[in-house]
């Protein structure tokens, strides 16, 4: 029985080969058209099952957040949540601002500003890390650019690292008062999120 | 057919290398490409493949839903709402899963009735049939626990009523029923604890079904498929290779089924559910009229037909357990009801009975419906326990075709090898 079926199949295959050698017939057309239709349909049907893992509407609804800065005194810092990520907001002292402004570009590990409000190739000067007229405010995403830990330096008693900014305890990355990487394994400065001052004491992130 | 050997010849060097170490290519080729299928199969035989599709669809949509669902009494109801409103394509995937459960039962009931009509349970297919009953039981358990998950009023009170069935054991040994029910609940009432374990088991059981289906298909491939004539494959002209013939027919059946499926998913996704399930579970208020999902209604009618708590439970479980004994209850000499002039009528009366029980299961438990349910429940059991054994003995079957080939081509066909080849569907 089995042998007979093989013969049947091979005879079909032979017939197929011959028909290809000649003109494609009605059956060839139907097979190709049918399989193409089913293939395209199958791929399209797959999309919803992939797209369902993208951020849903509740995640997109958290895309922007407003922060009142008035309670944050000079030298203090707060951490707010934006898109589930911690955002560091520090009211820097004049000494800290001056220390950040005095740094030469050649001393930086990463010379790019990493500021979503500026062009991608802007230099990592303190002016480019802050907003004009509000230079005391440093707003940065508090996620170490090495492997995603949250650096220390927000709370009063925290270790702030060799440059007085932030220090990531996971693998020892030191950030300065403009949240630029100065020492350790992290490759980039802390990211500056897109934000604007809606008033002198209020910012909108996102 | 168990000795059916594969003629698989790998063409690539890698194929040959793999085949010597893991002959999976030869297995698939032998069992799903050149496997001999009876040439007289009709469209009722496409439901096996359709059920495979249903199982796969429930697994894929279910795994996706589990990524967004939260199995807690506080969040379950809201998370289903969240899936339908917020998750990308969630409205569609949730509908596919909920409608899919109903479609799965449409297909499985068709498949079971087909088996009963054509005698697919008769020797040598007893184990195949019994595995099928186990799959049916696992499906019912899975569907029941799945219906609890949206945590609406019907979910909650459905769980309460069905788990309380076990409390009827109290009338045999006092205390045992209560202990079993509290064990099932993980408390003194249905709660979030119950929901959590139901979610866990609802995720587990489909994989048990996959295992049972693998055994079901294995058993099928050992004994070969039954067919409308109920005859065995005897000569080479009685069968065609599974691919492309049976596969192509299955695909046609699947597309027809998918049209019905999609119609529900996209145009009436909640039609088969119950409006009370859009109210969040409230342990303090029972809805005025509790009904299970439509696919459990016949069994629910049997439960309510018996005016005794334990009796009703025994009858309900008995109505499924009796299926396990069908291969030995049927005494007929032929398989297919096509050739059984008396049994055929009892069979259609049985189909009507199941539909009637389903209809009565949705109605309130009051007269005259209870009496009707009792009459139909009596027939349900009489069909298996009295009619199957007796009709099989007293009935004279109609004359069977000489072979499967004759069933298709008429008497005398397939005697000469040339005739079969000339008429075979391979000819273009």
DSSP-derived 3-state class of residue A115? strand
Q: What is the full per-residue pLDDT of chain B (428 aa) written as tens digits?
A: 444 556 788 989 999 999 999 999 999 999 999 999 999 999 999 999 999 999 999 999 999 999 999 999 999 999 999 999 999 999 999 999 999 999 999 999 999 999 999 999 999 999 999 999 999 999 999 999 999 999 999 999 999 999 999 999 998 999 999 999 999 999 999 999 999 999 999 999 999 999 999 999 999 999 999 999 999 999 999 999 999 999 999 999 999 999 999 999 999 999 999 999 999 999 999 998 889 999 999 999 999 999 998 999 999 999 999 999 999 999 999 999 999 999 999 999 999 999 999 999 999 888 899 999 999 999 999 999 999 999 999 999 999 999 999 999 988 876 654 444 444 444 43
CA-nearest of B370, B376, B369 to B355 is B376
More confident residue, A135 or B59: B59
Contact state of B87 with A49 under an 8 Å Cβ cutoff: no
Domain B33-235+245-407 has CATH 3.30.1600.10: no
The pLDDT value recorded for residue A58 is 85
> In B, which residues are within 8 Å of A27 by CB distance?
428
Report the predicted TM-score, pTM, of the whole model to 2 decimal places.
0.84
> In A, which residues are within 8 Å of B240 by CB distance?
5, 8
Contact state of A49 with B7 under an 8 Å Cβ cutoff: no
Residue indicated by tokens 């099989």? B392
**Bridging pattern class, strands B36-38 and A65-68:** unpaired
CA distance A55 to chain B (A): 8
Residue A8 scores a pLDDT above 80: no
Q: How far is it, in rounded angstroms, from Cα B294 to Cα B289?
A: 14
CB B144 within 8 A of CB B136: no
Q: Which residues share a beta bridge with A137?
A: A91
Task: Give the chain B residue whose CA is nearest to the CA of A61.
Answer: B86
| B17, HSE (Cβ side, Cα atoms, 13 Å) | 3
Question: B320-335 as b/e, with b when 16 or more CB fall inside 10 Å?
Answer: eebbbbbbebbebebb
CB B315 within 8 A of CB B305: yes
The pLDDT value recorded for residue B124 is 95
The answer, for A48 touching chain B at a CB cutoff of 8 Å, is yes
Residues B226-269 pLDDT 10s: 999 999 999 999 999 999 999 999 999 999 999 999 999 999 99
Residues A178-200 pLDDT 10s: 999 999 999 999 999 999 999 98
The pLDDT value recorded for residue A139 is 95
Task: Give the chain A residue whose CA is nearest to the CA of B92.
Answer: A48
CA-nearest of B39, B399, B3 to B235 is B39
Is the peptide bond between B321 and the residue preceding it cis, with omega within 30 degrees of 0? Answer: no
Q: How far is it, in rounded angstroms, from Cα A25 to Cα B191?
A: 65
> In A, which residues are within 8 Å of B86 by CB distance?
56-58
Furthest C-alpha separation in chain B: 76
Q: How far is it, in rounded angstroms, from Cα B316 to Cα B332?
A: 27
Confidence of residue A64 (pLDDT cuts 50, 70, 90): confident
Q: How far is it, in rounded angstroms, from Cα B179 to Cα B401?
A: 58
Q: How far is it, in rounded angstroms, from Cα A51 to Cα B89?
A: 7
The pLDDT value recorded for residue A21 is 60
Partner-chain residue, chosen from B36, B85, B88, that has the shortest CB–CB distance to A52: B88
Q: How far is it, in rounded angstroms, from Cα A9 to Cα B30?
A: 13
The pLDDT value recorded for residue B417 is 47
DSSP B365: S
The answer, for A57 touching chain B at a CB cutoff of 8 Å, is yes
Within a 10 A sphere around the Cβ of B308, how many other Cβ atoms?
11
Element (DSSP H or E) covering residue B142: helix B126-148
Alpha helix segments (H runs only) across chain A:
2-21, 26-51, 57-60, 94-101, 126-129
Confidence of residue A3 (pLDDT cuts 50, 70, 90): very low
Residue A13 scores a pLDDT above 90: no
Q: How far is it, in rounded angstroms, from Cα B166 to Cα B314?
A: 10
Task: Count residue pairs from A and B with Cβ separation < 8 A.
Answer: 65
Alpha helix segments (H runs only) across B23-89:
24-32, 47-66, 76-85
CA distance B77 to chain A (A): 16
> In A, which residues are within 8 Å of B4 by CB distance?
1-2
Partner-chain residue, chosen from A1, A56, A57, that has the shortest CB–CB distance to B36: A1
Alpha helix segments (H runs only) across B118-246:
126-148, 153-164, 176-185, 192-223
> In A, which residues are within 8 Å of B426 by CB distance?
8, 11-12
DSSP-derived 3-state class of residue B224? coil
């Amino acid at each position: 029985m089995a042998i007979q079926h093989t013969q049947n199949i091979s005879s079909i295959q032979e017939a197929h080969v011959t028909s290809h050698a000649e003109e494609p017939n009605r059956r060839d057309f139907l097979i190709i058209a049918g399989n193409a239709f089913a293939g395209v349909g199958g791929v399209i049907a797959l999309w919803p099952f992939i797209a369902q893992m993208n951020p849903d509407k509740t995640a997109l609804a958290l895309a922007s957040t407003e922060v009142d800065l008035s309670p944050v005194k000079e030298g203090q810092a707060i951490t707010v949540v934006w898109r589930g990520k911690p955002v560091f907001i520090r009211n820097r002292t004049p000494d800290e601002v001056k220390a950040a402004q005095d740094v030469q570009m050649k001393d930086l590990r990463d010379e790019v500003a990493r500021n979503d409000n500026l062009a991608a190739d802007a230099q990592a000067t303190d002016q480019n890390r802050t907003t004009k007229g509000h230079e005391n405010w440093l707003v940065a995403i508090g996620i170490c650019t090495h492997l995603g830990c949250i650096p220390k330096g927000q709370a009063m008693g925290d270790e702030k690292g060799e440059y007085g900014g932030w220090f990531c305890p996971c693998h020892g990355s030191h950030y300065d008062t403009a949240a630029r990487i100065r020492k350790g394994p992290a490759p980039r400065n802390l990211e500056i999120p897109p934000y604007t001052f809606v008033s002198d004491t209020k910012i909108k992130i996102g | 057919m168990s000795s059916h050997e594969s003629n698989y010849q790998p063409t690539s060097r890698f194929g040959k290398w793999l085949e010597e170490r893991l002959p999976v290519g030869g297995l698939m080729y032998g069992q799903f490409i050149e496997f001999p299928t009876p040439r007289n199969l009709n469209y009722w035989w496409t439901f096996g493949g359709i059920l495979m599709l249903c199982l796969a669809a429930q697994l894929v949509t279910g795994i996706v839903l589990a990524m967004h669902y939260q199995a807690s009494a506080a969040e379950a109801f809201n998370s289903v709402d969240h899936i339908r409103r917020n998750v990308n394509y969630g409205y569609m995937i949730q509908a596919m899963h909920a409608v899919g459960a109903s479609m799965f039962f449409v297909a499985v009931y068709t498949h079971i009735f087909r088996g009963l009509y054509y005698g697919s349970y008769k020797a040598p297919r007893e184990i195949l049939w019994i595995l099928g009953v186990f799959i049916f039981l696992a499906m019912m358990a899975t569907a029941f626990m799945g219906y609890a998950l949206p945590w609406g009023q019907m979910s909650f009170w459905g769980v309460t009523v069905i788990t309380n069935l076990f409390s009827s054991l109290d009338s045999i040994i006092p205390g045992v029923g209560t202990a079993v029910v509290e064990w099932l609940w993980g408390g003194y009432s249905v709660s979030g604890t119950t929901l959590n374990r139901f979610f866990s088991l609802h995720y587990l059981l489909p994989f048990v079904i996959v295992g049972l289906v693998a055994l079901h298909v294995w058993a099928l491939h050992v004994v070969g498929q039954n067919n409308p004539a109920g005859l065995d494959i005897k000569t080479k002209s009685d069968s065609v290779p599974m691919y492309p013939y049976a596969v192509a027919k299955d695909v046609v059946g699947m597309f027809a089924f998918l049209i019905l499926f999609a119609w529900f998913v996209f145009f009436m996704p909640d039609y088969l559910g119950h409006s009370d399930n859009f109210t969040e579970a409230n342990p303090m208020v029972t809805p005025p009229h509790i009904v299970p999902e439509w696919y459990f209604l016949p069994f629910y009618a049997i439960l309510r037909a018996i005016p005794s708590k334990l009796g009703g439970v025994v009858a309900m479980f008995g109505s499924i357990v009796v299926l396990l004994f069908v291969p030995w209850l049927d005494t007929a000499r032929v398989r297919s009801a096509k050739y059984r002039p008396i049994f055929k009528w009892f069979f259609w009366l049985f189909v009507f009975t199941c539909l009637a029980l389903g209809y009565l299961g949705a109605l309130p438990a009051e007269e005259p419906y209870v009496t009707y349910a009792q009459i139909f429940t009596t027939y349900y059991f009489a069909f298996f326990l009295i009619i199957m054994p007796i009709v099989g003995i007293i009935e004279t079957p109609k004359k069977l075709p000489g072979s499967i080939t004759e069933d298709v081509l008429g008497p005398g066909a397939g005697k000469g090898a040339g005739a079969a080849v000339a008429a075979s569907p391979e000819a273009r």
